Amino acid sequence: MARSSMAALLTRLRLLVNDLAGASQTFSDDDLQRVLDGQRFDARYSPLAPIDTIAAGGAITWLSWEADRGDWEDSATFVDSSYNVLTVSTSDLIRGIWTFATSQTAGVLLSGAAYNLYAAAADVLEILASRKASEFDFSADNASFKRSQAVEQLRAQAAAYRDRAGAWGKDGTAGAGAYAIEVYV
């Protein structure tokens, strides 16, 4: 049985924040889903880039098409430049690549939702740091316990993920609408 794309996104987010699903998890899937929704990108008729497939003799076809970012839900829909519905043969949701059974010469437009996992991971780590901020350092029996180190480490990792989140698109920039709705007509 195939896992839904949202379950796969939640699993990847859990790996980034070291909160694996199970009896000792800190966050519920619903909690993480709410954080992810805050880092959701909604594309509407966003153009995809063709990936050349070169056959013997040099003929080029465009079977595979790529978005400028990854981590998509599996509910994406596709049309050509005349708004005729297209059916995908295979999907690589993590990388944002879709393949069609036949070459698409009229361009491919995508409508769907993607998530900035690194920004979401930074948000989750900030929540964890806030929870731990009320803990305090103490000494007992000639030993010193510095709980503040956990807060510092969580905030440092959140900052590293925020840096990475800013370069969400595959071209290394967040691009116009990276945190909003893009509409192409």
What pLDDT is recorded for position 169?
A: 55
User: Residue 50 phi/psi, 5° resolution?
Assistant: -75, 150
Smallest CA-to-CA distance from 179 within 123, 111, 114, 124 is with 114
Question: Is the pTM higher than 0.85?
Answer: no
Task: Give residue-wise pLDDT tens across range 120-160.
Answer: 999 999 999 988 877 666 777 887 777 677 888 999 999 99
Task: Give residue-wise pLDDT tens across range 78-90.
Answer: 999 999 999 999 9
What pLDDT is recorded for position 170?
A: 54
